[in-house]
Structure 1
Amino acid sequence: MHSNQEVLTEARLQVFERIIGVQLPNHYRDFLLRYNGGYPKPYYFTISEEQGMGMVNIFYGIGGMYDNLDKKIDIFDDILNAGFLPIADDSGGNQICIGLTEKCFGNIYFGIHDEDTEDMDNMYFISENFKVFLENLYDDTEE
C-alpha cells in the first residue's frame, strides 16, 4: 500500500464514527489507523462473472487530504442512507463500499454510479470483509 496521507489518530477516527453514527468494522478501522487511505498495489478485483474485473483507484482517508471520507459522505449521502460507506473508487468514479447495517455489516460491495441505487441493483457483493477484499486484490497478469 502506498500512502502519503496524514496520520490518523484513534480520537479522530472516533469523531468520524460519531458523525456517521456507527463504529466501523475492525479490519477497516485497523487499515485506516495504519494507512489512512492510499493507493493499493496490486489493485484489481473481480466484481462478478457478468461485470468482470474492477480496479481500486484510491482508498479514501480521514482528514485534510483531497480524497477524504468526510467529503465523500456528503457527495454520496444516498449511498450512506442506504447503509453503505464509500471507502474507495475506481477510475470511472464507481464506489467500493463497506456495509454498515446489521444485514451486511462489514461486507464489501461495488456500486456502479450510473445504475439505479434505490433497490441496490447497482451494488455487487465483492467480499465478506475488508481483510479478505485486500487479500484478494491481484495484478492483471494473475487472473
Structure 2
Amino acid sequence: MFTMESNGPKLSTKQIELFEQSHKLCLPDSYRRFMLKWNGGWPTPNLFLVFQKQGTSVLNEFASLDDLEDLLDIYEDRLPKGFIPIGDDPGGNVICLATLSPENGSLFFWDHEEETDDPNLRTNVYHLSDSIDEFLEKLYAEEI
C-alpha cells in the first residue's frame, strides 16, 4: 500500500499557478494534483526499476514546491530543455518531470554519472513512466 509522509505545507492552486508563471512552465494536471495532495514527501514503498541494465534505485524524496525553486536553479543548465527535477535517489541522480510536448507529464531518471556537456543529447536520461500516477503505482518494497 502506498503512503507518503509530506515534507511541505499544504499548497493552494494559486501557489502552483504562481510557480508556473514565474518559471514559464505548464505542469501536467496529474502532477498538480500530486502537489496539492502532498507537496512532496517521502514515499513508502520507495524502490523503482530504472531499466533492466541500470537496475533498481531508491527514491529519497519528492521535492516540495519550495525545494523545486532551489532545484531549478541548481539544475538549470544540466537537465534537458523542459525537464524539472522533482525527486532524487541516494546516488545524486534526479527524477525529472517533462513539461514540454510530446513528453509532457512523463517521468525520467537523470543519471549524473553519465552527464555530458550538452544536456539535450539525453544520453543519461531514462524513461520511467508516462505520468506521476503511473510512477507511484510502480514503486515497490524490497522483499524480505
When the two structures are superposed, what TM-score results if normalisation uses the length of structure 1?
A: 0.91
Give the corresponding residue for 1:101.
Answer: 100
Give the corresponding residue for 1:25.
Answer: 28
Task: Give unpaired runs (5+ residues) of structure 1.
Answer: none
Percent identity over the alignment? 36
1:1-143 paired onto structure 2 within 5 Å = 1-63=4-66, 68-79=67-78, 82-115=81-114, 116=116, 117-141=119-143
- Given that 2:80 and 2:120 are in contact with CA atoms closer than 8 Å, whether structure 1 keeps it comes out as no
Moved more, 78-87 or 52-61: 78-87
When the two structures are superposed, what TM-score results if normalisation uses the length of structure 2?
A: 0.90
Tell me how far apart the structure 2 counterparts of residues 81 and 15 of structure 1 sit (CA, whole Å).
23
Partner SS, residue 65 of structure 2: coil
Aligned residues: 138
Q: Give 1:40 shift.
A: 0.2
Partner SS, residue 123 of structure 2: coil
Q: Please identify runs of 4+ aligned residues in structure 1 that moved more than 4 A.
A: none
- Given that 1:79 and 1:85 are in contact with CA atoms closer than 8 Å, whether structure 2 keeps it comes out as no
Alpha-carbon distance change, 79 to 134 in structure 1, aligned in 2, over 3 angstroms: farther
